[in-house]
Amino acid sequence: MDSTPSTRPNTGSDAPKPLKRRGLKRLWHAAGYSLAGLKAGWYEPAFRQEAIASALLLPLACWLGQNWVERSLLVGVVLLVMLVELLNTGIETAIDRIGPEWHSLSKRAKDMGSAAVLLSLLLAFFTWAGALWNRFLT
């Protein structure tokens, strides 16, 4: 068992500061936080829909892409949509935690997150449309 204390000595502040994890311990905990984030994202309908769509699109990307560059682009844009959706959900969650009252900066942050999702979806759509065009119409 690890005999290191879980906190650093108190240096005058009220709350003890946690030790910084290093090496494999840090990676292990970071992976746990990442899985918790994916699990939390699963409960968001938009992320769940995109995850289900990606389960269909990722194998299709391996078939549709004619070389590793095309396959990488098709897979990459699908994963990018999911990534941006998670970031947007994080922004919305942080804004909602601040309070339920309307504020122009809160609206602006949420709108910009939504715009980022829209742009990632458009990039994915046009990348896939280009790959389909290249595969079947040229």
In a domain, 8, yes or no: no
Q: What is the pLDDT of residue 21?
A: 85
Please list the ranges in the chain whose pLDDT falls under 50: 1-5
pTM of the model: 0.81
- pLDDT, tens digit, 9 for 90 and up, residues 86-107: 999 999 999 999 998 999 999 9
Q: Is 85 a catalytic residue?
A: yes
Distance CA 135, CA 69 (A): 14
In a domain, 91, yes or no: yes
Q: Name the catalytic one among 44, 50, 70, 85.
A: 85
Q: What is the pLDDT of residue 65?
A: 94
Phi-psi category of residue 23: left, alpha or beta, with phi > 0 → left and psi -120 to 50 → alpha: left
Q: What is the pLDDT of residue 48?
A: 97
Q: What is the pLDDT of residue 138?
A: 84
Distance CA 70, CA 133 (A): 13
In a domain, 105, yes or no: yes
In a domain, 95, yes or no: yes
For residue 49, what is the domain's CATH number?
1.10.287.3610
Total domain count for the chain? 1
Domain that holds residue 62: 45-136
